Amino acid sequence: MILRLRTAGRRGDRTAGALRWTACLARLLPRGTPAVLAPAVLLTALLPAPSAMADGGSGYAFAAHARTVRGATGTADAVPLEPGTVYRSSLPDKGARYYRLELPAADTAYVPVTAVPPADATVSASDGIAVSVENANGTSCDYQGARFGAGLSPRPVTAVGRRDAGRALCQDAGTYYVVVERLVTGSKTTTPGSWDLEIAPVTEPALARAAATTAPQSWNSASPRPLTGDPRRRTGGAGFSTARTLGEGVWGTDITPGQTLYYAVPVDWGQQLHATVDLGSTSGDAHGYVSAALNLSLYNPVRGYVDDLSLGYDGTQKSSSLDPLPPVTYANRYAVSGEENAVRFAGAYYLVVHLTGQTADTFGQGPYGVTLRIRVDGTPDSGPAYAGSPVPKDVFDAPAADRGDLVGAAGGDDPAMRALAVAGIGTGTALLLVLGVWTLTARRAQTRANAQKPTA
């Protein structure tokens, strides 16, 4: 439907036109929505949802406030990174890129780097990125790699470089370097060219007092029965910064081949996260098999890798669960297992869902139905006492439910309800101005109409 507003030349006509415009808009809204809210609600509905604000070439939603920096080809020219600030950079297909960090002795630093290849790139299973942190003498404090895997699908991959305070290596205050490089196999099928990067450094302070230095020896490692019930609709975000919050429950969405969806699950100190993913059956008559068609990855609050799984797909419904994880506690960092080691702090744990582009070749463009079954067990506790504040300050806080959660519980991703929620948090001043102008116009018109009524 196309609405046209003709502006009249006289003040009375303009006022009447405004009233007719508001009433017309109100007819497009669900019954019971106040007419005066029509402009704000419908203008909001026309704006893209946060999950849609993605980079045009990759589909990844970089943080809106990301600061663009150029990685150096050596340490001498490395640009500084500030914890708590998100950066956008790029990585060529050959050679490393260097960034600089100034760290005190007591802080542990985490530098997550997300590499985003073009959506039409060709990659091999062993392609990816490597991130390391080195001290001023060239000693490597930590090294981590991330690869695309068997899905052979270009998607965002994330690796974290780390400097652990108190370890024998890299324990001094001073200058450290973050080194980012491509992992390549030399395959001629890999598309050359630069990949975009998102870098989000975090620091964790020391504890205010001594605590256990061994990981818990026992915890409930049994796999609980996945939750059942009708899924509530929740569209995923397109990056870490736009990840949609999921509480405990059953959640459903659609995904297309090559797409990556981001969700954030609040997990507090002492709580235990369980996640199951279902990929629905196709409605067509296509036959075949796609190995590693759907990938579900779990990342901790500093975007560190925790665990992942892949589903092979033959057109019939498939389901799988992440391995059981221990309750979140500070002492998990002393665990030998990487999965247990990674659940070392509270905060938003990210579930990242990717459907390989190869699915389209065998079963069509979709969309395909995905269901996430989330359990968060355990009673939250107070957690450790830090001697200072992490940066960013709230990174280890389990986020409270937002307006999006209220929308999901009340009826999924209904556009009108989403518009009302976003109007309250996303468009702020602009919509308040629109609403104010319309309210004032309507009130003036009503006052004049009353004044013109004949009196007895």
**Higher pLDDT among residues 277 and 18, named by residue:** 277
pLDDT of residue 443: 55
Q: Which of 213, 277, 252, 262 is nearest to 52 (CA)?
A: 262
Q: Which of 2-16, 189-203, 241-255, 363-377 comes out lowest in average pLDDT?
A: 2-16
pLDDT, tens only, 62-117? 999 999 999 999 999 999 999 999 999 999 988 999 999 999 999 999 999 999 99
pLDDT, tens only, 231-283? 999 999 999 999 999 999 999 999 999 999 999 999 999 999 999 999 999 97
pLDDT of residue 368: 97
Q: Which of 159, 196, 155 is nearest to 296 (CA)?
A: 155
Q: What is the mean pLDDT of residues 274-294?
A: 91
Bridge pairing between strands 79-80 and 195-199: unpaired
pLDDT of residue 414: 43
Tokens at residue 85, please?
């600030």
pLDDT of residue 310: 96
What's the Cα-to-Cα distance from 28 to each of 41, 186, 438, rounded to whole Å? 10, 57, 17
| One-letter identity of residue 434 | V
- Where residue 384 falls (left for φ over 0; alpha for ψ -120 to 50; beta otherwise) is beta
pLDDT tier at 444, thresholds 50, 70, 90:
low
Domains of the chain: 11-47+427-451 (no CATH), 57-206 (2.60.120.380), 223-383 (2.60.120)
Q: What is the mean pLDDT of residues 364-381?
A: 95
pLDDT of residue 283: 79
Percentage of residues in the chain with pLDDT exceeding 70? Answer: 74
φ/ψ of 240, rounded to 5, equals -60, -40
**Higher pLDDT among residues 454 and 391, named by residue:** 391
pLDDT, tens only, 173-210? 999 999 999 998 766 667 788 999 999 999 999 999 98
Q: Which of 100-104, 152-156, 368-372, 442-446 comes out lowest in average pLDDT?
A: 442-446
pLDDT tier at 3, thresholds 50, 70, 90:
very low
Task: Establish whether the linkage from the previous residue to 367 is cis, with ω within 30° of 0.
Answer: yes
Which residues touch 3 (CB under 8 Å, ≥6 apart)? 21, 24, 25
What's the Cα-to-Cα distance from 80 to each of 77, 174, 220, 382, rounded to whole Å? 9, 13, 43, 34
Q: How far apart are CA 132 and CA 177, in angstroms?
A: 8
